[in-house]
Amino acid sequence: MKIILLRNLDRIGHQYEVKEVTAGFARNFLLPKQYAIIYTPQNYKIIEEKKKKVGRERQLEMAKNNLGKIDQFILNFKEKATAAGKLFAQINKKKILEKLLKEQNLKLKADDLIINQPIKEIGSHLVGIKPDYYNKIKIIIEKI
């Protein structure tokens, strides 16, 4: 009998997985205790939507937790520059996003960053983060 698990169960499977179990085990244990439901295409669609919703909620919660720490983030870049301190290649959103993912394990979209002007000089710069414009990442650029 095919079932969809509604919770993690040792030696059986994880929440929202479709499993094949004996009919007696399902009827006598899993279904009465509401650990699982019988697999049907309609039930599967409902569970998939629920799984997506739970995933989105987890992502939002993680993002909120990370946004609280963003003010503490400092990204250091070492770039080639002229003697006057002008960079040969600007620091753009893509470079900042890659560095955030690599160093802080924070995945954002390019639209989430607020850069008023392209960063083309050595020194310290602030980059804002949406939706709360007061959260800023400090970027320090040094000459190689």
**Helix (H, G, I), strand (E, B), or coil: what is residue 137?**
strand
Q: Give the predicted TM-score (pTM) of the model.
A: 0.53
- Over residues 9-32, mean pLDDT: 94
Contact 114, 127 (CB under 8 A): yes
Other C-beta atoms lying within 10 Å of the C-beta of residue 44: 15
The helix/strand/coil state of 134 is coil
Q: How many Å apart are CA 1 and CA 117, to the nearest integer? A: 61
Domain boundaries, the chain: 2-66, 70-143
Give me the mean pLDDT over the 37-54 stretch.
Answer: 92
CATH number of 70-143: 3.10.430.100
Would you identify the CATH topology of the domain 2-66?
Ribosomal Protein L9; domain 1 (3.40.5)
The pLDDT, as a whole number, for residue 3 is: 96
